[in-house]
A and B are shown apart, each in its own frame.
Chain A
Amino acid sequence: MTTSLFFLLIPPAIAAVLAILVRPYTRLVGWVSVVCAAISFAASVALGAAVVNAGVPDDLVALSALWRVDALSALLAVCIAFVTLLASALGPGLDAAGEAPAQSRQFRIFMNAFAFTMLVAVTIQNVALMWVAIEATTITSAMVIPLTRTKASVEASWKYILICSVGIALAFAGTVLAYFDFVATAGEVPGALNWTVLRESARLLHPQLLQTAFAFILIGYGTKAGLAPMHTWLPDAHSEAPSPISAMMSGVLLAVALYAIARWKAVVDAAVNPWFTNSLLLGFGLLSVTIGAFSLVIQRHYKRMLAYSSVEHMGLVAIGLALGPLGTFAALLHVVNHAVAKSMSFLLAGRILHRYDTTEIGRVTGLLRVMPWTGSLFAVGILALVGLPPFGLFVSEFLLIRAAILAGRFWVAGVVLVLLLTVFASLITHLNRMLYGEMPSGVEIGETRSWPVVALALSVGLLIVLGVTLPQPISMLISQSVRGVIR
C-alpha cells in the first residue's frame, strides 16, 4: 500500500527535478519522464487493486496522519496517471528532430510537476493541504500554457492564472471558515483538518456557518472545475495550451476540482439537509450544461469546441453528484469515461492542428482523406463525447437520466435531454464539416509518426470496453467511492 503510494507520487517528482537539473535538454529526459509516468500508472493500478481487495467501503487505508487512499482517491489517481502517461508519451521532446529544446524542457518540468500536484491533491487527507496542492496545480499548469508565446497564449494564461487564483482563494476562505466552525464547536483537535475527522464530527457543527463555507468552497473549486458561470477561463486556456496539457487539464484537472467538492459535500451533508448542497450543485450543473451546449452551436474553433464540451460534461457530473447514490455512481463513471475520451480527442486535435496549422473548423476539411486514421479516431472521440453507444459515456449518461427519473426529478431529465440533443446537433455539424468535403491545397496527405495513433486507438478500445463491458473492478471501485461519499 505505502510502497505503491510511494511509487505513485515519487516518479513524477523525480522526472520534474531531472528536467530541471539536466540542461541543455536531451531526449533522454523525455523518455525518463515517460518511464516515470508508466511506473506511477502501474502504481496507481496497484493502489486501485489494493483498495478493491481491501473491500472496505470507506474506512480507509489511512497510511499516516497525512496520506490516505480510499476508493475515490484510487479512482482519480488511476485516471490522472493514465492521462499523464498518454500526455507524456505523445508530448514534445521525444524524437531527435523535435521541437525547440527549451520548450521541451519547460514542458517536461511543468507537465510532471502538474501531474505530481494533482496526484498529491487526491491522496492527501488534510483538506487545507489538498487546497494547497490544487492551488499548486494552477501554478504549474499555467506555466506551460505560453509554451510558444503569442498574444493569444499570454492572454489566455493571464486569464487562467488570475481567475483561478481568485477562485481558489475563495475555496481557501471556505476551508478556513469550516475550520473556524470546527474549532469554535469542537475545540482544538489534532488532525482536525483531516476530512474524515471533519465528517465524523460534522453533526456538532453549526449548520449555517457550514453552509456559508460550502458556498465559498463550491464557488472556489467550481471555478477550477469549470462550472458556469466561473468557467470563462476554460475555453481560452484549453484552446491555447499545448494539446497534451489541454488533455490533462480537461481530462483530469477538472475532475480533481470536483473531487474536492465531492469530499466537502460529504462533510456538509452530514451536518445539514442534503437538499442544500444538492440544489446548489443542480443549479450550477444545469447552468453549465446549458452554457456549454449553446456555446457549441456557433463555434468556429475545434479546440474551443472540445473545451466547451468539457464545461457541459462537468455540468453533467455536478448534476449527477446531486442525484443520490445512483447519480453519484453515474457521475464518477462519467468522470472516468470523460477523462479517456476528452484526453484522446485533445491529443488528436493536436495532431490535426499540427497538420492543418489552424484551429478553425471551417478551414479543416476532408480530414478523413488527409489523415484517415486520425480523422476516424477523432470522429470516434466526438461520437463518444456526445454519448453514443458503444462508448462508455453512453452508459454513464444513461445511468444519469435514470437516476434523475428515479429521484423523481423529471424536469431535470427533460432539460438535460433537450440540451444533449443541442450538443449532438452542433458537434455532429462541426464534425461533418471537418471530416468530409474537399481537401485544402498545400496540406500533405497521409499519416506521420503513426505510433501515437496506435496509442490513441488503444484508448478507443478502452472506451468501448468501458461501454460494452463495464469491468467489475472499476464498477466495484466506483460503488465503493459512492459509499464513501454518500452516507
Chain B
Amino acid sequence: MIRYVAVLLQTLVAMALAPGLVGFIRWLKARLQGRRGAAPWQPYFELRKLFGKEAVISHTASWIFTATPFVLFGTSVLVASVVPLIIAPAGRFLIGDLFATVYLLLLGTFFLALAGLDTGSPFGGMGASREMTVVALTEPTVALSIVALALNAGSTSFSQIVSHTLAQPSAALGPGHLLAFAALFIVTLAETGRLPVDNPSTHLELTMIHEAMILEYSGPYLALIEWGAALKLLVFLALAANLFMPWGIALWLSPAAIAIGLLSFVAKLGVLAVAIAVLETRVAKLRLFRVPELLSASFVLALLAVMSTFLVR
C-alpha cells in the first residue's frame, strides 16, 4: 500500500516538475543565445492562464478532437508513474515494462495524430503525417536499446535493470551501455520534438511537426497538451538518466533515501537539460527528409550496442 502511495507521490512530483523543466531549458537557451528570456517558471503562468480561458473548437472537429488532450495527458501521467524517477519500486508494483511504456506513449501519439487530422486543416494533416513518420522510424531504435539493456540485466522491467546496473557499475561504462544511451538520447530528441528534428519554438507552418498538430487547440485543451508534452520530455530524460546512471535512486522508502533520490534526480535532469539547451543553440533544424538519416544513425548505434553486448557476454 505504502508503495502505491509512494509511486503516486513521485508521479505528482514529476507532474509538478515538468513545466519547470521546459521553462528552465527555454531560459537557458535564451541565455546561451544572449537574450534575457522569460523566467524558468513562466510555463506555470501559461498553464494557469490557459486553464482559465475558454476553448475554441473547429466546426469540423469531432469528439476525437476533444478527447485527445485527456488521452495524451493521461498516458503521459501513466508513463510517469511507471518509470523509476526518484524511487525504483520492485517489479510487482508496476503495471508494465519498457515495451509497455513505449506502447503507452504510442497510444498518446496515435490520438494526437488523429486530432491533427480531425480539424481538416492542412497543417494538422501535415503534422500528423510527419509525426507518425518520425515515431514509426524511432520504434526500432527504442526496441533495440531496450534489448541492449535487457541483455545486461536479463530483463525488460525497470527495477531489475536499475538494480542490475547498480550492482555492477562497470557495466554502466561498458560500450554497449554508452552506445545504447546515445541512441536513446537521439530518440528522446525526436520523440519530444526538440531540435534538430523539430523546432519547439517555431510557428512557421512548413517546418513544424508537433506544433502543426496542435495548431487548432486552445484554452484548457492546449494546457493539457502542453503539460502532457512537458511530462513526456521529463519522462524520457528520466529514462535516459535512471536507466544508464541510476546512482542515487531510492531503492527503499526511508526519508533519507527519498531525499537523496529527489536531489540526484533533479541534478540529473538539470545536466540533461543543459545538454539539450546547448545542443539546441548549436545545431540547426534538419530538413524533414534528412531526419530519417539521423534516425537510422541512431538505429545503427542501438544495433552496435546490442552487438557489443553480445561480444562482451
Task: Verify whether A and B have any Cβ pair under 8 Å.
Answer: no
